[in-house]
């Protein structure tokens, strides 16, 4: 019923629409429904699309008859655009927006994802109300930037942030937005903080598709030995095991992964054995994410017992 109503309203909007000019678009537009981005800002020939949870896409736009050409992250998209002058209603990317009385703000720089496709995707509307986002990016070549609740923070703030995700009846899943240039070492610096408040699994978002409004993501199981936790200042729990004790108890075969070429070693694993996979911290983060996806698949589909560790291997 809701779908039919939306289609009906859209048809009315299209029927009553008139040609839109650049001047008509200038300002802030707010979303009128639960689907779509939170707001759109037009300023000059620039556009900012704010999804309401900390991700804003910036770019340039150009009008063509009944469509708009958007250039975002060096990619061009064409979208149908309809405007109803009398009610100041805009139909954009299959969602409706109304004109805000507020003045447009300055268009700022965007969050640059690592832009890596995953086998797993999820629509933004599915997670926007039950998710909290941790932004991990590079402010320059040497400096890693952490943003929690749209505010700059350091790693010491993460445990409190994660505890706020666990509020009864208001639980929100924490996910990491992974920015371009972040290294594997920088990502894994967050692992102990997740462990400290009992979040053994994390999801890393590597790409956002504007057209489909879908996130590409990777699931990672955090596995730290007792000595690693102590080294990072975290208190081990009863179930945490030292590396030596793990090897003595489970007698795993140890596989070393230094590069993407070593991934072929995973094709020969057997279901009746235990494996400890030592992953080099200098591995490119793109390869690390794909490696985790392959390991998770082996665990789920072939029921292979695999534990991982992240160490700095000597060449």
Torsion of CA 208, 187, 286, 209, to 10 degrees: 0
Residue 107 has what pLDDT? Answer: 53
Q: pLDDT per residue over 103-117, tens digit each?
A: 766 555 567 889 999
Same domain? 85 vs 167: no
pLDDT digits (tens, 9 = 90+) for 270-311: 999 999 999 999 999 999 999 999 999 999 999 999 999 999
Number of domain units in the chain? 3
pTM over 0.85, yes/no = no
Question: What mean pLDDT is predicted for residues 261-267?
Answer: 96
Inside any domain, residue 282: yes
What's the average model confidence in pLDDT over 171-177?
92
- pLDDT tens for each residue of 103-155: 766 555 567 889 999 999 999 888 878 888 999 998 887 889 999 877 889 99
Q: Is pLDDT at 71 greater than 50 in this prediction?
A: yes
Q: Among 93-97, 142-146, 260-264, which stretch is predicted with the lowest mean pLDDT?
A: 93-97
160 vs 6, more confident: 160
Q: Is residue 213 part of a domain?
A: yes
Quick: pLDDT tens for 77-87. Answer: 888 888 877 77
**pLDDT tens track for 207-243:** 988 778 899 999 999 999 999 998 887 888 888 999 9
Same domain assignment for residues 128 and 186? yes
Q: Are residues 278 and 310 in the same domain?
A: yes
The reply to whether 158 and 129 lie within a common domain is: yes
- Please give the pLDDT value at position 163: 92
Residues 46 and 90 in one domain: yes
In a domain, 108, yes or no: no
Does the residue 242 lie in any domain?
Answer: yes
Last residue of a domain, one of 67, 99, 131: 99
CATH classification of the domain holding 50: 2.40.128.280
- Residue 9: what pLDDT? 46
Dist. CA 81–CA 87, nearest whole Å: 15
Among 39, 65, 99, which residue terminates a domain? 99
Domain of 125 in residue numbering reads as: 120-222
- What is the pLDDT at residue 276? 98
pLDDT of residue 106: 58
* Chain mean pLDDT for the chain: 86
Q: How far apart are CA 86 and CA 106, in angstroms?
A: 27
Q: Which residue has the higher pLDDT, 248 or 130?
A: 248
Of residues 201 and 67, more confidence is placed in 201
Same domain flag for 241 and 315: yes
pLDDT band at 35 (very low <50, low <70, confident <90, very high): confident
pLDDT for the residue 14: 42
Q: Are residues 135 and 90 in the same domain?
A: no
The residue-averaged pLDDT of 67-92 equals 82
């Amino acid at each position: 019923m809701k779908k039919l109503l939306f289609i009906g309203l859209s048809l009315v909007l299209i029927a009553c629409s008139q040609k839109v000019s650049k001047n008509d678009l200038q300002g802030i537009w707010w979303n009128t429904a639960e689907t779509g981005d939170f707001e759109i800002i037009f300023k000059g020939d620039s556009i900012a699309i704010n999804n309401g949870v900390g991700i804003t896409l910036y770019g340039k736009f150009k009008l063509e008859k009944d469509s708009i050409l958007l250039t975002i992250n060096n990619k061009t998209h064409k979208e149908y655009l309809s405007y109803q002058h009398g009610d100041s209603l805009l139909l954009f990317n299959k969602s409706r927006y109304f004109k805000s009385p507020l003045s447009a703000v300055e268009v700022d720089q965007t969050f640059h994802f690592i832009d890596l496709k995953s086998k797993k995707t999820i629509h933004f509307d599915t997670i926007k109300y039950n998710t909290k986002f941790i932004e991990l990016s590079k402010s320059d070549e040497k400096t890693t930037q952490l943003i929690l609740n749209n505010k700059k923070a350091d790693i010491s703030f993460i445990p409190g942030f994660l505890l706020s995700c666990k509020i009864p009846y208001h639980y929100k899943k924490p996910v990491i937005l992974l920015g371009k240039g972040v290294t594997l070492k920088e990502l894994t610096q967050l692992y102990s903080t997740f462990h400290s408040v009992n979040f053994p699994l994390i999801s890393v978002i590597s790409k956002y598709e504007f057209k489909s409004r879908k996130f590409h993501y990777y699931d990672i199981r955090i596995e730290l030995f007792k000595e690693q936790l102590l080294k990072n200042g975290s208190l081990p729990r009863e179930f945490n095991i030292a590396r030596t004790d793990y090897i003595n108890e489970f007698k795993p075969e140890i596989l070393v992964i230094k590069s993407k070429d070593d991934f072929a070693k995973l094709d020969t694993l057997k279901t009746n054995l235990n494996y400890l996979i030592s992953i080099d911290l200098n591995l490119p983060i793109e390869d690390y994410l794909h490696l985790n996806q392959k390991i998770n698949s082996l665990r789920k589909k072939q029921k292979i017992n695999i534990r991982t560790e992240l160490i700095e291997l000597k060449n």
